[in-house]
Structure 1
Amino acid sequence: MSYTINRVIKHADVEDIDQRTRKALADHGFGVLTEIDVKATMKKKLDKEMPAYRILGACNPGMAWEAIGVEPQVGAMLPCNVILREVSEGVEVSAIDPLASMTAIDNDALKQIAAKVRDRLSEVVESI
C-alpha cells in the first residue's frame, strides 16, 4: 500500500505550485497550520544543499474534530502533511494517505474518517 498521493507538475516552479497547493487545500476545506522549508533547514543546520523541499501541515478542522472525537490520541498523527519537492521534471506534490497512516490504529470509525480525508486530499492533488 502506498502511503502518499502523488502528482508531478511538469515545467513548474515551487513558488507557483506552493500558491496553487494552498488554494486547492483551502478550496477543499483545509488550512495550512505549519510550514517547514526543509531546504533552508538543511542548509542552516548541516550546511548541505538540496533541491527545494517544503512540508505543509494541512488540516481540515471538521474532519480533525471528528477524528479526535473517535480517537483522542490521533492528534499525534496530525496534521496531514503535503510535500512540495523540486524534481527534474518540475515539482512533485505528495500528500499523506491518511488511511495508510491510520492502519496502526484499530478503530473502524477512524478509518472511515481517514478514507474521507484521503478522498479530499486526492481531489486537492489532482486539482493543482
Structure 2
Amino acid sequence: MKRENPAKKEISNQNYTESRRTTYCISQRYGSQTFSEILKNIKEALTKRDFNVLLELALDEYLKEDIEDMPPHVILSVCNSGTAAKALAADLQSGVFLPCNITVKEVDQGNIEVSIEDTTVTWASSNTDELGELAKNTTETLKQILSEIDQQRMKL
C-alpha cells in the first residue's frame, strides 16, 4: 500500500558520543569493512551462538517514501530459543521483550554502526531474578559479537 507523504523527513546523523550514551543499547562503529560484510559477520557470529535471525528489516527500504536519502539501515530481530523458553518460564509476560534487536546502519560514508539491545536495561522491568540473570547473559553474548566483527575479517 502506497503512503502519501508530501513532506519527507531527513535523518540527522547521531554522533558517536550520543550513540555510546544511549542507555538501552550498546553501540560500536567500524570502518574497515563494508555494510554487507559486517552484516554477514554478525549473522555468522549469531549462528555460532545458536541465535536465529527471525526478522531482517531493511529500514531504509521500508521508509524510502517517508525519509529522504536514508543510508543503509537494517534491523535484525534475533532469538535464542533456549533463552526465550527460560524467559517465558520465569515470566510469562516477558514475551513482549522477545526477540532481541540488533541494528546495523551506515552513519557516514565508510563508517558502520552496530547497536545491540542491552537486555539488562530493556528486560529490567520484569523484576524477576531469573530474568535478570538471563538478560545479563544475553547482553554478554551480544557484546561478544560486537567485539568479533572486525576480527572475523582477519585470516590467520
TM-score > 0.5 by shorter chain: yes
Whole-Å separation in 2 of the counterparts to 1:126 and 1:111: 23
Please, which of 80, 83, 103 is the counterpart of residue 124 of structure 2?
A: 103
| Aligned counterpart, 2:82 | 62
Residue-by-residue CA offset, 1:13-67 (whole Å, 9 max, x unaligned): 21111101100111122110011111001114x2632111100001011111111
| Aligned counterpart, 1:85 | 105
> RCO (CA 8 Å, sep 6+): is it higher in 1 or 2?
1
If the length of structure 2 is used for normalisation, what is the TM-score?
0.76
| Aligned counterpart, 1:40 | 61
Q: Which runs of 5+ in 1 are unaligned?
A: none
- 2:18 counterpart of 1:15: no
| Aligned counterpart, 1:114 | 135
Structure with more helix by fraction: 1
Whole-Å separation in 1 of the counterparts to 2:25 and 2:33: 20
Whole-Å separation in 1 of the counterparts to 2:39 and 2:88: 28
Residue 36 of structure 2 aligns to which amino acid in structure 1? E
Same amino acid, percent of matched pairs: 28
Contact kept, 8 Å, 1:39 with 1:51, in 2: the verdict is yes
CA RMSD of aligned residues (A): 1.5
Pair member with larger Rg: 2
Whole-Å separation in 1 of the counterparts to 2:35 and 2:93: 34
Whole-Å separation in 2 of the counterparts to 1:49 and 1:74: 36
CA distance change for structure 1 residues 48 and 117 in 2, over 3 Å: closer, same or farther? Answer: same
Q: Which runs of 5+ in 2 are unaligned?
A: 1-21, 150-156
The DSSP-based 3-state class of the residue aligned with 1:29 is coil
If the length of structure 1 is used for normalisation, what is the TM-score?
0.92
Residue 77 of structure 1 aligns to which amino acid in structure 2? F
Number of aligned residue pairs: 127
